[in-house]
Chain A
Amino acid sequence: MVIRKALDLWVGVFVAIGLGALLFLALKVGNLTTFSSAGTYLVAANFDNIGGLKKRAPVKSAGVVVGRVEDIVFDTEQYEATVTLALEKRYEFPKDTSAKILTAGLLGEQYIGLAAGGDSAKLKNGDRIKITQSAVVLENLISQFLFNKAAEGNKDIK
């Protein structure tokens, strides 16, 4: 019976530290505490080009994560991308808030930046953000730069 008790103790310790490790992974390594799926409201935004934006990408305002990208679909009527944002309930934004697709660092992941406007009415569930700015596509930027250079070169020849 003594052996039995020691054995139970060890198994209890094992299970406890195993669950403790899971809890550590969930709370310290993962982001279970910082963001809960409950208490969000959905806002849509149309973009000409979303670049490399992915589902679950962060939505930031003033650098603080205020929500996540919930869904990205292609709008077949306007030929634009419709991005659904899940914003946390405790963060309210004015109706005329603008959304930009930004990149963290030169090669980092893309996220949505929200800049608050001055309207007194707040965004509600199902609203649409009207002012948007698409992702910067590096190829377009380079070709623009090259065309400008070429145009300058022509001027010099004349």
Chain B
Amino acid sequence: MAAFIGFLENLGGRVTSAIHRLGFASRFLLLTLQNSGMSFRRFSLVVREIYFAGVLSLIIILVSGLFVGMVLGLQGYDTLVRYGSSSALGVLVALSLVRELGPVVAGLLFASRAGSAITAEIGLMKATEQLAAMEMMAVDPIARVVAPRFWAGVISMPLLAALFSAMGVFGGYLVGVRVIGVDEGSFWSQMQAAVDFREDILNGVIKSVVFGVAVTWIAVFEGYDAPPTAEGVSGATTRTVVTSSLSILALDFMLTAFMFRGT
């Protein structure tokens, strides 16, 4: 009986602490937005973070985009040729990249490449009491440390997703047209006929902006909230990757349900 009550208490404690954290995270996002004036007045702060979050993620994004596109080209051709419609390969590659794979895979890579780094950096700053020192000097750590990283992530993510999609289309072109020998004209023209700017590309960009906000929000929050120990920082980094990957997939489902319900 006592064990059962203990179990219930444990369960309840977990639920309330999760809700507490959610509330704090929301308040933290609001606080970040309120204190982002400095990030735009001193934009060089954001530029520095775009370098770390965006430029350093370029290699992984470009290479994986290329490979994802090439795999799509191979697999798509294999299936389409059975129905005698291998000329629709461009449509398959472009639509799956622009609508889904571009934002989602770029988001997942961004979360593990840049999100974890942001969390670890802020967490370590907290553990070594750099944040406390800033407060002592009357510098708001949210305005000076958190907000520039947040905005850098929000700016970088759509660019990275667009690069991923473009590289993927190029990879699909390489494999489909150059290697397999699908007709080049029908590859591009069918793609252009099927991909709509507003419906497909703009919705993909909206998705990547939403993922950018989600990933960097989770990353800066986990860093700021991390227990100031070595274990705490490592746990927070892991949580950033897990939570932001799951929320990317969940958000993607919701956004897709809104955007592509079909007419």
Residues on A lying within 8 angstroms of B by beta carbon are: 4, 7-8, 10-11, 13-15, 17-19, 21-22, 24-26, 28-32, 34, 54-56, 58, 65, 105, 107
Contacts and interface: CB of A to CB of B under 8 A. Distances in A.
Given A7-B51, A11-B50, A30 B166 contact: no
A14 B159 contact: yes
A29 B47 contact: no
Given A30-B200, A32-B197, A54-B263, A21 B192 contact: no
Contact of A31 (B158, B195, B205): B195
B188 A28 contact: yes
Nearest to B205: A22
A25 B193 contact: no
B163 A30 contact: no
Contact of B197 (A11, A18, A26): A26
Contacts of B68: none
B165 interface: yes
Nearest to A58: B193
B105 interface: no
Given A14-B50, A22-B205, A30 B195 contact: yes
Contacts, number: 89
Contacts of A13: 55
A110 to B, nearest CB: 13
20 contacts: A7-B48, A7-B51, A10-B51, A11-B47, A11-B51, A14-B55, A14-B156, A14-B159, A15-B159, A21-B167, A22-B162, A25-B162, A25-B201, A28-B192, A29-B166, A30-B195, A30-B196, A30-B200, A31-B195, A56-B199
Contacts of A58: 193
A18 B163 contact: yes
Contacts of A105: 85
Given A10-B55, A11-B55, A26 B201 contact: yes
Contacts of A32: 197
User: Closest 7 A-B residue pairs measured CB to CB?
Assistant: A18-B159, A21-B166, A21-B162, A30-B197, A22-B162, A21-B163, A32-B197
Given A10-B51, A25-B162, 4 more contacts: A24-B166, A28-B169, A29-B169, A30-B196
* Chain A residues touching B, majority SS: helix
B192 A11 contact: no
A58 B193 CA distance: 9
Interface residue range, chain B: 35 or more
* Main SS class of interface, B: helix
A65 B189 CA distance: 12
A29 B205 CA distance: 14
Interface string B166-202: 1101000000000000000000100111011101110
Interface string B235-260: 00000000000000000000000000
A24 B55 CA distance: 19
- Most-contacted residue by chain B among A19, A28, A29, A31 (CB, 10 A): A29
B153 interface: no
A19 B155 CA distance: 11
Greatest chain A CB density within 10 A among B159, B193, B200 is at B159
Contacts of B51: 7, 10-11, 14
B118 interface: no
B73 interface: no
B131 to A, nearest CB: 23
B215 interface: no
A25 B98 contact: yes
Contact of A18 (B98, B160, B188): B160
A95 B133 CA distance: 79
Contacts of A56: 196, 199, 263
Given A15-B159, A21-B159, A25-B162, A31 B47 contact: no
A65 B196 CA distance: 14
